[in-house]
Structure 1
């Protein structure tokens, strides 16, 4: 589960958006997601794109719906939802630590090194 979160969940808002669209079989209109996530529409559209690119949702004609790419992905998201509901801080810290590690790796790529 940790690997899945680190590899596919880019931010806490992305996880929140995923769990929100998963919470109902209905499709979600963008304005409703904007209102529920308390984020600007542009940010919500970015989250929708990220969910779709990770095979977690689909977006068509202004409607978003939970659409895991496989049964295994659906089961993993169910496990994450259950754990997140009981361990919000731990899951949030896992996501943030992955983001910090990625930022450090990016910064290190530009570090000038002296050859011996």
Structure 2
């Protein structure tokens, strides 16, 4: 892999599955916890976000099938092997090409925000 390039499969994964850097950081934190359950408060403190934000990130992880929640907290537990492999590939690129990957994530979230804003602009004009 060349410096500064992200493989196509990882790029597609980012564009379709990683809505924000905090979300990626939350999932990667739990992934590094090797099956240990973390509370929303622990995740909030580790990511320097409020507990409400941590709960939203963790809830999204549960919804997308990458995290599992039980009475002890949240764990990294992808619903299938394909999702686990996608996160493994993403984690490798995130570690080795942090700037390029975060720019890709930010570009995606900015584009989504612009599309959302444009939808309201179009509604007002009609």
The two structures have a TM-score, normalised by structure 2, of: 0.83
> How many residue pairs align between the two structures?
115
Report the Cα offset of residue 62 of structure 1.
4.9
Q: In the alignment, is the contact (CA less than 8 A) between 1:16 and 1:37 conserved in 2?
A: yes
Mean Cα deviation higher: 30-39 or 69-78: 30-39
Residues 1:97 and 2:97 aligned together: no
Match of 2:7 in 1: none
Moved over 2 A (4+): 110-115
Give yes or no for the alignment of 1:5 onto 2:18.
Answer: no
**Counterpart in the other structure of 1:73:** 83
TM-score (norm 1): 0.90
| Alpha-carbon distance change, 52 to 66 in structure 1, aligned in 2, over 3 angstroms | same
Instruction: Give ranges in structure 1 of 5+ residues lacking alignment.
Output: none
Match of 2:29 in 1: 20
